[in-house]
Amino acid sequence: MYESFSNLYYLCIMGRILGIDYGQKRVGLAVSDPLNIFATPLETVPVDKVTGFLKQYTETQPVDVFVVGYPKLLNNTPAQNAPRVTAFVTHLKRTFPGIPVILADERFTSKMAFQAMIDGGLKQKARRDKAAVDKISAVLILQEYLQNNTL
């Protein structure tokens, strides 16, 4: 019985997992629930403000892992934005040395995010909001990671 209480306690204090869709202008962010079962949109922030946002967020919420979408082409080679993402990951590791950074394949997430907006009934004007696409892409990156790598 004691073991089940300790497991419950551990589940209650688990940190969240943060999904990141790093773009040229904006960064889409998603976060897991406290039990790391599902992903929800968090925010879209300009590239130059993402470090400050993450510092503020990690001061108020425990974060166990950053999952960063890594852009690849269909032939599995790095896409055009890959050097920017690599530089961001290096910066992230230096800024948050206690939080592991995991790269996740982000192929097709923007297209899937756009399709999810259509399927969700969003009007054409709302679908033009690239910040919303970035946030949904971050959710897709994180949700795939959660499905493949957690309890």
Q: How far apart are CA 86 and CA 71, in angstroms?
A: 10
Q: Can you give the CATH number for the domain in which 101 is found?
A: 3.30.420.140
Q: What's the number of domains the chain is made of?
A: 1
pTM: 0.80
Q: How far apart are CA 137 and CA 116, in angstroms?
A: 10
Q: Identify the three-state secondary structure at position 68.
A: strand
Q: Which of 127, 135, 141 is nearest to 27 (CA)?
A: 135
Per residue in 80-135, pLDDT tens?
Answer: 889 999 999 999 999 999 999 999 987 656 555 555 555 555 556 554 556 677 78
Phi then psi for residue 132, to 5 deg, are -65, -40
Structural domain of 114? 2-149
Q: How far apart are CA 17 and CA 31, in angstroms?
A: 6
Residue 77 has pLDDT above 70, yes or no: yes
